Amino acid sequence: MKYLLLKTIVATLVLTVTSRLAVAENVAKPNVLFIAMDDLNDWIGCLGGHPQTITPNLDRLAKSGVLFTNAHCAAPACNPSRISIFSGRAPNVSGVYANDQALREVLPDAELLPKTFSRNGYHASGSGKMLHYIIDAQSWDDYYPKPSSEMPIPETLYPEQRPLSLPRGGPWQYVETDWGALDASDQEFGGDYKVSQWISQQLAKKHEQPFFLACGIYRPHEPWFVPAKYFEPFPLDSIQLPPGYQENDIDDLPPAAKQSRQSRYFEHIQKHGEWKHAIQSYLASIHFADAMLGRVLEALDNSEYADNTIVVLWSDHGWHLGEKEHWQKYTAWRLCTRVPLIIRVPKNSPGLPEGTTPAICDQPVNLVSLAPTLFALCGLPANEDHDGPSLTPLLEDVSSEWPHVSVTHLHRPGNFGLSDNGWRYIRYANGDEELYDTAADRYEWTNLAADPKYADQLAELRAKAPTKFADKPAPSVESLVKLKWMRLKKDPAPPSRPDGSLFPVFFTNQSEAPVKLFWIDQHGQAQFYRSIAPTKTVSQKTRPGAVWQVSSMGDRPLGYFKVDDRSAQAIIPER
């Protein structure tokens, strides 16, 4: 009996001590505030990208942590960049290269950052765009808007009549390429203001667990509409062109590089005299995003978590505003791959007990390193699936030896840009190459790849380049955007206005009878292409602006689809 009593007492003491150790462990774990800004290039004060930019909060954060001036995205597009960050897997390993690939189709079992933190005693929550227009509810403990919606961006105010500033040049043009000032307050604008408000509320709460809190600020993503007060510091007649722009900058580019540009956008914007207005709107959107960041940083400073929270701020990729005669993203040039990255670590963090000292690091780093870095800093077990090296050696001492390069993968395997100390190497799958001395040529104006004087440097960078590239799985038909079914009554289908590159559209017949598929030509005449049996799906190559009519087998017109700017599914409904 005494033995049983003693055994019970010992067991109780062990449970008590274990419980207290667990509590102590939780108290010691640092929190994580993980902040993303969308489509933000180096146009922030501390990176010197544009002389007119206004980013006091970004600059203040940079001065309090480690600012990486040579940080690059894993891919110059939202979806692959963000998936690489949250999974810790580079595109050439995961196979996620493009925006049209669905996370859970390519990586059905991948455990993302917030899930790992949650599994290790953290409360994982977030708001705003962290992944590409999905939340991935299974990875979070809480989210705003509600996780089941799978739409991470809160309702945002836009002009009633659009386009406001830039007419749509054709179906090839992304509908959100538009900008202008709104007569609205921050609260009325919603969107990022609501995100900053929700994040601030979480920081004001009492948390029993350490937290992983993700804040996705959508601006300066298109469309560049923000309240008018953010335009006021940038009078239109004072706007300066991008410092990286130079006329005839594409003359020394190889064919593959010239083909990668979206010059049509730039030409269209210039044709309508909107270049400076667009620059003004991008600067205003950055100014607004910086103000929303300021609200979040103020909430952190005023909270009880100010001294035990790791802060990480990143952008998913850069953005061209005319440089290389290009608009948008999707390129391997430094203007598009280089991103803001700031990390601040408090003292007593398990992986960096002394925390960070404010510093500037110019080593080539990649956003794919964020997952292993956070795991190391917070004392979480390392994940063998992670591809990037942890940044903790550089956070401890920015002069630490760093033998790594940073690679950005384009939307097809085998196309990439490589960043090293003072050099940039770009290679296309067809063998075309570019080489830049970025120490002397910040904007990559002079391609040195064909210059014999730089043959040794070219060979050295070739040797550091990746050699293995995962295949790119095609997205399922079900994951594609859906074209709107336009039922025909009296009026005929409109004529096609094809304009742009070919891509497939998948026609799915959900009716109980076979149907005929016709292309409506530019004169409004129906050209028969094929029949589609019930429940069957067929692939049809087409262009933006094409009109496809569906008719009964007796040639009675039923309805039509108008093709937009990307591959899609066209569902023929039941009659």
The residues carrying an active-site annotation are 78, 132
Residues 6+ apart with CB under 8 A from 167: 272
The total number of residues written for the chain in this structure: 575
DSSP annotation string for 289-352:
HHHHHHHHHHHHHTSTTTTSEEEEEEES---EESGGG-EES---SHHHHB--EEEE--TTBTTB
Q: Rounded to 5 degrees, what angle do the CA atoms 34, 129, 177 make?
A: 130
Closest CA relative to residue 66, chosen from 266, 355, 308, 326: 355
Phi/psi-derived region of residue 248, left when phi > 0, alpha when psi is between -120 and 50, beta in every other case? left
Phi, psi (degrees; rounded to nearest 5) at 551: -130, 160
Beta partners for residue 275, in sequence order: none
Q: 545 vs 53, 171, 494, 564, CA distance in Å? A: 37, 5, 11, 6
Handedness of CA 99, 101, 102, 108 (dihedral sign): negative
Residue 220 near residue 285, CB atoms below 8 Å: yes
Helix or strand (DSSP H, E) at 481: strand 481-482
Say which amino acid occupies 38: D
β pairing state of 123-128 and 547-552:
unpaired
- By CB neighbour count within 10 A (0-12 exposed, 13-18 middle, 19+ buried), where does 176 fall? middle
- In 10 A of CB 169, how many CB atoms? 16
As a whole number of angstroms, the distance between CA 516 and CA 309 comes to 61
Distance between CA 36 and CA 180 in Å, rounded?
A: 23
Neighbouring-strand partners of residue 68: 361
Backbone angles phi, psi at 40, to 5 degrees: -95, 120
Measure the CA–CA gap between 40 and 560, rounded to whole angstroms: 39
Q: Is 462 helix (H, G, I), strand (E, B) or coil?
A: helix
Per the structure block, which two tokens stand in for 388?
A: 């990037």
CA distance 353 to 346: 8
